[in-house]
Chains A and B, each alone.
Chain A
Amino acid sequence: MFTSLQLHLAKVFLKIFLRDRQSIFFTLLFPLIFTGVFLFSSGEPDPIKLGLINQSQSTIAADFSDLVIDEPLFEITQGDLQSLRQELINGDQTALILIPTNFKQEEDSTQITLLLDASQVRQAGAIEETLNRSLISIEREIRGIEPMFNLEVEDVQARPQRYIDFLLPGILAYMLMNLCIAGSGFNVVEYRRRGILKRLFVTPIQAKDFIVAIIISRMVIILTQISVILGLALTLLDIRIAGSLASLYGMVIIGTFIFLCIGFFLGSLAKTQEAIRPIVALTTFPQLILSGVFFPISALHELLQPIAHALPLSVIVSGLRGISNDGASLLSFNLTTIGILIWMAISFFIATKYFVWKEVAN
């Protein structure tokens, strides 16, 4: 399948990588940070610190206080207005709930005051909503009425699907794209600038051999990185993958191939070291927005959707998501498969056809 030159060259690139301690360090650090960020951001949010000043002696005020204290979203400190106000100013409390002396059942409508620190206003909505909820349930209890409606959320596909399950394949694909383009595009520009490519060009090597060799070596590196991330995601983040791991790896390999090839093309497009960065940013950043990494493509404007669906990142994202979320197989044939095949052909063609060995002045 591969010539002995391609395999030897791939071994050389792998050796170069393995001898670069710094790049190994960052290669392994990256998945760790990635998982760490998710691990800490997907946990329970910190309780909001609230001060409670109960100036009323009524039982209804006491009931309300108990409900608020029991609320897991809040961490309540009870006290007098003077000291709690100082804590609020110092930033030790997010807000103060003030139950006035006239908080009684007999009156039609009583006012509860919420004292806020303007810089913490981000959480005001959540506090207000929870307080309102507590008030309504107290009101129901007192007036003896049952709630009229009850909303129950049920997933039609009957599988637990969280946002992180949706997000992971998207992030995986986006990361794949960045790793690949850095691995091929940036490398090629650097090798060309230093005249290493020109030296290779005067030997009988062909662009195809060089590209295949880098693809093989990068594949080994990237699959290792992806395995670390997947391993951490499966064990620590409790990610569920509906399809088979083999299909998932197959899709990662296809994605690596496509993005490395695109990287070679961008590397040939960029004449200088300075040009490669904006060119790469210009190709990767819009795809981050348009390719359904963070939200489904169907949320985009109707005119953008057909374009968005055709992007290489979209194709890989939907391929990975199909396997990870819907349990599809790599071999199941659908629109995404067609997109993948087309991008494989296009990317390999432009990578080999337009490969530039020599530095071109201006």
Chain B
Amino acid sequence: MSKDTHQVKKIIGVQLQANEYFDRMSLSELLLLFGKLYAQDSNPLELLTRVNLEDKASAKPAALSGGQKQRFSIACALVNNPKVLFLDEPTTGLDPQAKRNLWQLVKDLNSSGMTIVLTTHNMEEAEYLCDRIAIMDQGKIIAENTPQNLILEHAAEPPKAKLHGNIEDVFLALTGHALRD
């Protein structure tokens, strides 16, 4: 699979941390452009409706708030109806309302049958959103399981309790408490 990157790119959607777009283009014009990149005629309004931005169709990206920018990024990642959607720290820097709103969007997309790969430093987010969690340390996956099993395996006592601690405890137990740069 890694050999034919061109074919892979056609079936994935990616939202990057840096979400800047061409200046002086409206959201719907940008979505049309992204559709063209996949040789498709996208429907900007439908995509914007999916991420609750339908009233911003003619706005420029520079005029969007942080949460709106992230939702727009996801709309761009959805133009090709991807089988797998990659989200890179989608809620970093968002206020609680915007974060909850984005979580709901991710849940909805997931329940519509889309596989979502999400990276995050927010353990609450991972626990809330994910069916499976892989913990990476120094570029290596050091644990991978369902949130429940990870907690059972790695979270600290008390032993009698059925489920104790949370994914953050798991992360700290696995990667140590020392500060990271």
Contact = CB atoms under 8 A, between A and B. Distances in A.
Interface in B19-59: 19-25, 29, 32-34, 36-39
A15 B24 contact: yes
A203 B16 contact: no
B35 to A, nearest CB: 9
Given A195-B18, A198-B16, A199-B16, A4 B36 contact: yes
B31 to A, nearest CB: 12
Given A203-B9, A204-B6, A16 B22 contact: yes
A267 to B, nearest CB: 16
A196 B14 contact: no
Contacts of A5: 36-37, 39
A179 interface: no
A172 to B, nearest CB: 30
A202 interface: yes
Nearest to B12: A202
A12 B33 CA distance: 8
B13 to A, nearest CB: 9
A8 interface: yes
A194 interface: yes
A199 B36 contact: no
Interface residues of A, number: 21
B10 interface: yes
B9 A204 contact: yes
Q: How large is the interface on B (under 10, 10 to 19, 20 to 34, 35 or more residues)?
A: 20 to 34
Contacts of B16: 195, 198-199, 202
A282 B143 CA distance: 52
Contact of B18 (A4, A8, A16, A194): A194
A19 interface: yes
Interface in A210-262: none
B36 A15 contact: no
A12 B25 contact: yes
A19 B23 CA distance: 9
A203 B34 CA distance: 8
B24 A20 contact: yes
A203 B22 contact: no
A137 B16 CA distance: 84
A47 B33 CA distance: 61
Contacts of B33: 8-9, 12
Contacts of A199: 14, 16, 18-21, 76
Interface string A180-207: 0000000000010011101110111110
A194 B18 CA distance: 7
Contacts of B29: 12, 15
Instruction: Name, among A4, A5, A19, A202, the residue most crowded by chain B CB atoms within 10 Å (CB to CB).
Output: A202
A199 B10 CA distance: 14
Interface string A1-23: 00011001100100110011000
B86 to A, nearest CB: 8
12 contacts: A12-B29, A16-B24, A195-B20, A196-B22, A199-B18, A199-B20, A199-B76, A202-B9, A202-B16, A203-B80, A204-B9, A204-B39
Interface of A: 4-5, 8-9, 12, 15-16, 19-20, 191, 194-196, 198-200, 202-206
